Amino acid sequence: QVPLVESGGGSVQTGGSLKLSCAVSAYAYSNNCVAWFRQSLGKAREGVASIYTGGGTTYVAHSMKGRFTISQDSANNTVYLQINTLKPEDTAMYYCAATRGPATDRYCSGGYWAEADFRYWGQGTQVTVSS
C-alpha cells in the first residue's frame, strides 16, 4: 500500500490557483507530522509547509508565507496545499511526506523538522506555471 498519494497538480497560468491533495494511509496519519515539499528542475528539494495532524496546527516556510496554506480533512486522512497567485518559479514536483511518528505539535508546527525526518513519501504531483 502506497503510504501517501498526491493529486491536484496541473498546468496553470501565472496568477492562478491550485489545491493539491495528499491522501495519507491511516498508519502514517494519526498524530503525525505531514509536510509538503517541492523540487524544481536542477534544484534541491525544499520544505513548503507542515501540519500536525493531531491538532491541525501548521507551519509555513518563511519564503512561502502569504500564498501557501496547508490544511487537513482529518475524517478522510487528507492533507491539502492551497497555492494562490501562482508564479513561474512555483513550477516543481510537489511531494507530501509523513514522519515515522508519532510527532509532537511543537516539533511539527514549529518547523523543527528536516527532510531526513520524513519516512513516508508520495510519488509527487507536477505543477507547471506558464507566464
Identify the pLDDT of residue 55: 94
Identify the pLDDT of residue 44: 97
Say how far residue 63 (Cα) sits from the centre of its chain.
15
pLDDT band for position 1 (cuts 50, 70, 90): confident
Determine the average pLDDT of the residues in 20-25.
97
Going by C-alpha positions, the residue among 5, 2, 6 that lies closest to residue 126 is 6
Q: Got the DSSP string for 81-124? A: EEE-S--GGG-EEEEEEEESS---HHHHHTT---GGGEEEE---
Cα distances (angstroms) measured from residue 59 to each of 6, 36, 70: 19, 10, 8
Determine the average pLDDT of the residues in 83-93.
98
Identify the pLDDT of residue 41: 95
Name residue 20's beta-bridge partners: 81
Identify the pLDDT of residue 29: 95
Determine the average pLDDT of the residues in 65-81.
97
Average pLDDT, rounded, for the chain:
96
